[in-house]
Amino acid sequence: MTRKHHRCCCCTDYVHYYYYYYYYYYYYYYYYYYYYYYYYYYYYYYYYYYYYYYYYYYYYYYYYYYYYYYYHKANFCGGSVDKAVCFTAI
């Protein structure tokens, strides 16, 4: 397909070509920046998810340790309210 436009001067074609090239370069740069920002956001979200998972694991480990300590204290009757566990352990 041929472009049908009126050539009055070669300067106008050069300006249009330069403007089109600059617009294309700007669009490419914007797309690259958006892609980099999306990658950075995805990396931050992954890091936040990993930190949340680590915090949840630490909380679960602390709860398990507290439960084990309470059960161990109940076995030796160290001021525990639950006497049934104390008697069954002995």
Answer with the residue of higher pLDDT: 28 or 10.
28
Residue 89's pLDDT is what?
46
Calculate the CA 80 to chain-centre distance: 44
Encode pLDDT of 52-80 as tens digits: 888 888 888 888 888 877 766 555 544 44
What number of H helices and E strands is found in the chain? 2, 0
Closest CA to 44 of 57, 36, 59, 29: 36
Q: What is the CA radius of gyration of the chain?
A: 35
